[in-house]
Amino acid sequence: MKMKQTLFFSLLLLVPIFSITTLAQSPAAAPKAPEKPASAKPAPSTPALAPAKPLVPALPQSPSSGADSSGSQDIVKILRKAKSFNTLIRLLKTTQIINQVNAQLVTSKNGGLTILAPDDGAFSELKAGYFNSLGDRQQKALIQFHVLPTYVSSSNFDALSNPVLTLASDSPTGYQLNVTAYGNSVNISTGVVNVTL
C-alpha cells in the first residue's frame, strides 16, 4: 500500500511538471559592439554577405510556444525540484537514459513525455542489490519502461490504448504496460507489478 501511495504521489508531482514545455524566460538582449576610443580611426567597412543557410541548425520548436527551448528542459533539474527522486536520477545517469530523455524533452512535437517516476521510497522497497543484478540492457529497459514518449495528463489515462507504448516498447525484453482507469483511480499493470494510483 505504501508503494502505491508513493508512486501515486510521484506521478502527481511529475505530471504537471511535464506539461510545461518551456520555462518562461525573456529573450536575451542583442550583444552590443565594444566602444571605440575617440582617437582611433574607424576601420573601413565592407559589407558582409549573409550566409545562404544558418551555420547552426535551429532546434525544433514546441507546438505550444515559439520560444527557444534549448537548455531550458533538463529532467535532472525537474526531478531535483520535486526532491525525493535521487535514486531515479542516479539510475538515469548510470544507464545514460538521461540523454535520451533530455533529447526527447527538447525535440518532442507532442508536448513532452510522461515519467512514471518511482521515488526513493519505492526503490528502497526493492530487494537489496536487485538493480545491480540486472545486465546493462535490462537496466536500460527497466528505466525506459517508466517513460511514456508522450505527455499524458492524469485525467487522460483513460484514453490510452493497451498495451501502452513506453521507451522500452521495442526492447527484446517484451515489457508490457497496461493501464485501466476507473473513476479517480488508475491501475497500472505490467504482469510483474500491479499498482493502483
Give the residue, 92 or 165, on which the prediction is more confident: 92
Q: 41-55, 75-89, 140-154: which range is least confident on average?
A: 41-55
Q: Is residue 190 part of a domain?
A: no
Does residue 85 contact residue 115 with C-beta atoms inside 8 Å?
A: no
Q: Is residue 172 part of a domain?
A: no
Q: Is residue 171 part of a domain?
A: no
Q: How far is the C-alpha of 109 from the C-alpha of 21, rounded, in Å?
A: 10
Q: Is residue 163 part of a domain?
A: no
Q: How far is the C-alpha of 23 from the C-alpha of 62, rounded, in Å?
A: 12
| Domain residue limits at 91 | 2-19+65-153
Q: Is residue 140 part of a domain?
A: yes
Give the residue, 140 or 37, on which the prediction is more confident: 140
**80: phi then psi, degrees, rounded to nearest 5:** -65, -35
pLDDT, tens only, 13-29: 444 444 333 333 334 44
Q: Is residue 53 part of a domain?
A: no
Q: How far is the C-alpha of 162 from the C-alpha of 178, rounded, in Å?
A: 5
Q: 45-54, 113-122, 174-183: which range is least confident on average?
A: 45-54
- What total of structural domains would you count in the chain? 1
pLDDT, tens only, 55-64: 333 333 333 3
Residues 6+ positions from 47 with CB-CB distance below 8 Å:
none
The runs of H, that is alpha helices, within 83-174 are: 86-94, 97-107, 120-124, 130-133, 136-144
* Helix, strand and coil in the chain, % to nearest 5: 35, 10, 55
Q: Which of 56, 67, 85 is nearest to 20 (CA)?
A: 67
pLDDT, tens only, 70-123: 445 688 888 899 889 999 999 999 999 888 888 888 777 766 888 888 889 888
Q: Is residue 147 part of a domain?
A: yes
Q: Is residue 164 part of a domain?
A: no
